[in-house]
Amino acid sequence: METEQKIELLYSPAPTKPMNVVAFGSGTGSNLEALIEAQKDLYSIKAIFCDRKCRCLEIGDHNGIPTIYLSFKRYFKEKGVTDKTDLQTRFSYEDQVIYLLSQLNVTTDIIFLAGYMRLVHKPLLEAFPNRILNVHPADLTILDEKRHRQYVGVDGVSDALNAGETSTRSSVFIVDDNIDTGQLLVLGPSVNYTEGYPLTEEKIKVHHEKQKQYSDWIASVEALKLIAEGRIGLNQNGNVVIDNNEGYHICAGSSQLLTTNQ
C-alpha cells in the first residue's frame, strides 16, 4: 500500500480573495506589465518594490499600485560602506526591505522578481521561505558535463545561442541562496532563433526581447496561476509537486500545459 506523500503548498487558496503578489523590479518592467495585465481573480499585484529609480515605479503609479523605493547604492553610501558585496550591509538592506513590506496593509503571499537585478539573501529567504520566485531567460533543465545547470547568470540567452542552441525558453523557479539553482516550477514555450548568423549583440538582443514576449511572460503568468489555484507544493524531500505529480510544468504554447518529471 502506497503511503500518501505529504505536500506543503506554496499557497493555500482563500475562497474570498486573490493571492497577494509583491513584484520586485530594477529595469524596464516589461515582465511586470505582463503580470499586471494578466491579473484577475486568482492573483493581484499589491505592491512593487524597486532598488533603484526605474520604469517599474512609473508602471506602479500608472496602474494605481503602491510602490516602495529603497536605493541600494544610497543605502550603502549612507552606511559608509564602499564594498557593494559586503554581506552584513546587504543583510541590513534586506531587513529594511522586509520592514517596508510589513507596513503594507496586505499579507505578502508571493514575491515575484520581475527583472530584479540583485541577489536575494538570507533575510528575505527566511522571511518568505519558498515564496520568492524568479524568471530566468534560459532552459534550466539543460545540464553541463558536471550535471550542473549550464545556462545560469545574467547572460543566459547569449550563452545558450553562442553554445549552438537553436531555440531558447524561460524558466520560473523558487529562489534559493545560490544563482539560478532553485526548484524549477515552469518552463516557458520554446522560441526558435531566426535572426541569422553570425551572431551579433544586436541579433541576440532582438531574440531576447522576442523571448520575453513568447516565453518569459507566459511562464511567469502560468506559474502564478498554478500557485494561486493551490496546485503547486513541495513534498517531504523538497521536490516540486504539481497536481500530485512530482515535476515541473512545460508551457507548450500560449495555453497548453504538459507535466514532466524532474
Position 170 in a domain: yes
Residue 259 has pLDDT above 60, yes or no: no
CA angle 35-114-104, nearest 5°?
80
Instruction: Give domain status of residue 117, yes or no.
Output: yes
Strand order in the sheet with 110-113: 67-69, 43-50, 19-25, 110-113, 132-136, 171-174, 184-187, 248-251, 257-260
- The residue range of the domain holding 31 is 7-260
Q: How far apart are CA 191 and CA 165, in angstroms?
A: 11
Residue 154 in domain: yes
Would 18 be classed as within a structural domain? yes
Interatomic CA distance for residues 10 and 130, integer angstroms: 7
What pLDDT is stored for residue 4 in this prediction? 66
Q: Is 49 part of any domain? A: yes
One DSSP character per residue, 91-136 reads: HHHHHHHHHHHHTSSS---EEEESS--S---HHHHHHSTT-EEEEE
Beta-carbon contacts of residue 119 (< 8 Å; ≥ 6 apart): 90, 179
Report pLDDT for 2: 52
Is pTM beyond 0.85 here? yes
The number of distinct structural domains making up the chain is 1
Amino acid at 87: L
pLDDT digits (tens, 9 = 90+) for 105-138: 899 999 999 999 999 999 999 999 999 999 999 9
Residue 1 lies in a domain: no
In a domain, 100, yes or no: yes
| CA separation for the pair 173, 260 (Å, rounded) | 15
Mean pLDDT across 201-222 = 96
Provide the CATH number for the domain around residue 212. Answer: 3.40.50.170
Please give the pLDDT value at position 244: 92
Is residue 2 in a domain? Answer: no
